[in-house]
Amino acid sequence: MSRFLDWNGHGWIALGLRLYLGVVFLLACWHKILHPASFALDVATYQILPLELVNLQALVLPWVELFVALMLVLGLRTRAAVLLVNAMMVMFMVALAIALARGLDMGCGCFASEGGDDPITWRTLVRDGTWLAMGLYVQWLDRRPLGLDRLLTRRTS
């Protein structure tokens, strides 16, 4: 088990996954930041959050996605970034599962708003689950992330 954890290949696989997740989150945040009102409507459509928290979520979440995406791509505070990615993926999956269980016929709001993207299905949930699995891989197996983190560690040591 220890040999598996110490395998050097994890860093390279994790680098690929990090870059992929970083691009996914960059694509996801773009429309939300440009059109906060549309995204707020998407958040409200899930009918999960109380009205008082809808706009707060719609405003802050895309910026968290943006910073996290940049951190993943640059390899800066990678483990904190991927912790946030995993937390967001769990949050998205819970919201999707509730909407699907209620039988709501609506767009995901993940990459575009106002139903402009594909309607939510169980496949959307599987897709998010796959991204969560990627995030967990990076979280657990990328011990010394390639990127700015490693450069900064070298300089200080």
Show the site string, 98-137: x = touches another protein by CB under 8 A, - = not. Answer: ----xxxxx-------------------------------
CA dist., res. 60 & res. 67, Å (int): 11
Minimum CB–partner distance for residue 10 and another protein (Å) = 18
Residues 80 and 42: their CA atoms lie apart, in Å, by 27
Amino acid identity, position 61: L
User: Is residue 45 close enough to count as binding another protein by CB under 8 A?
Assistant: yes
Give the interface size with another protein as a residue count (CB under 8 A).
Answer: 35
From candidates 7, 12, 16, 63, binder to another protein by CB under 8 A: 63
Measured CA distances, 129 to 86, 89, 90, 92 (Å): 10, 8, 8, 10
Q: Is 77 in the site for another protein (CB under 8 A)?
A: yes
**Choices 4-12, 35-43, 89-97, 125-133 (CB under 8 A): range interacting with another protein:** 35-43
Closer residue to another protein in complex, CB, 11/36:
36
Write the DSSP assignment of 50-87 as a string of letters: -HHHHHHHHHHHHHHHHHHHHHHHHTSSHHHHHHHHHH
| Residue whose tokens read 């696989």 | 13
60 interacts with another protein by CB under 8 A: yes
For position 91 contacting another protein by CB under 8 A, the verdict is: no
Q: Cβ 73 to another protein, closest distance in Å?
A: 14
Q: Tell me, what DSSP letter sits at residue 146? A: T
The verdict on 52 binding another protein (CB under 8 A) reads: yes
Per the listing, tokens 């990090």 go with: 18
The separation between the first and the last C-alpha atoms of the chain, rounded to the nearest angstrom, is 29
Contacts with another protein by CB under 8 A lie at 33, 36-37, 40-41, 44-45, 47, 51-52, 54-56, 58-60, 62-64, 66-68, 71, 77, 79-81, 83-84, 87, 102-106
